[in-house]
A = this chain, B = another copy of it.
Amino acid sequence: MTTEVKPSPRERLLDAAATLAYQRGVGVGIEALCQAAGVSKRSMYQLFESKGELLAASLERGAAAYTAWLLPTADDGSSHRRRILHVFEQVEAQAAVPEYQGCRYLAVQIELKDPSHPASRVARQVKEDLAGFFRAEAEQGGAGDPDLLARQLILVFDGASARAGIGADDLTGLVTPTVGTLLDAAGLP
């Protein structure tokens, strides 16, 4: 006998926001979100102050799992070069999924066009954490200019996810050699 625990209205709203905002964009309507979650608008507004807060909470909820999936485990014994390349191999794998529409933490900021929006703030933090990972690896790996290398890596990351997300490039044979070239130039063995 299995016991199924039905997700709470809050969880269902967070799921709906994560799925629909990604598929359709941040302009997805409150009605559509409530309908997908099977939650009344009244209940939604008891749980979240606004659609913006719901979007922010859904990004926040997914951030830890996303980062764990994207980054190598701490002290996995591999080189800093290898640890950086791991991130880009993950992006390349993600880009091969037909439903992939690019990095949600980039898309949300581009779509909202408002750095002070609660969802933009969450998304920016996720990106800053990724930049911080690159910066730390670059420094520990002995890069000549760790700041420059970290900015280059996240630029490639965002460019790759944007282009794969719009279907302009499948990233095959592109990202790894590009990052490899930048790591070589930075003196990261």
Which of A58-66, A75-83, A154-162 binds B? A154-162
Cβ contact within 8 Å between B106 and A166: yes
Residue of B nearest to A185 (CB): B181
**Contacts A24-B113, A25-B113, A152-B178; is A124 near B168 (CB within 8 Å)?**
yes
Question: Given the complex, which residues of B lie within 8 Å of A174, measured CB to CB?
Answer: 148, 151-152, 155
Contact B110 A165 (CB under 8 A): yes
| Majority secondary structure, A binding face | helix
A146 lies within 8 A of chain B by Cβ: no
Whether A163 is near chain B, meaning CB under 8 Å from some CB there, is yes
Pick from B106, B158, B162, B182: contact of A181, CB under 8 Å: B182
- Cβ–Cβ < 8 Å partners of A167 in chain B: 115
A177 adjacent to chain B (CB < 8 Å): yes
- Decide: A166 and B109 in contact? CB cutoff 8 A: yes
Given contact pairs A107-B110, A162-B162, a sample of 4 additional A-B residue pairs in the complex whose CB atoms are under 8 Å apart: A27-B27, A110-B111, A155-B160, A155-B163
- Interchain Cβ contacts under 8 Å between A and B, 12 examples: A25-B111, A110-B110, A110-B166, A111-B111, A115-B166, A151-B169, A152-B174, A154-B168, A155-B156, A159-B159, A178-B182, A181-B182
- Name A's B-contacting residues (CB within 8 A): 23-25, 27, 101-102, 106-107, 109-113, 115, 120, 124, 127, 148, 151-152, 154-160, 162-163, 165-169, 173-174, 177-178, 181-182, 184-185
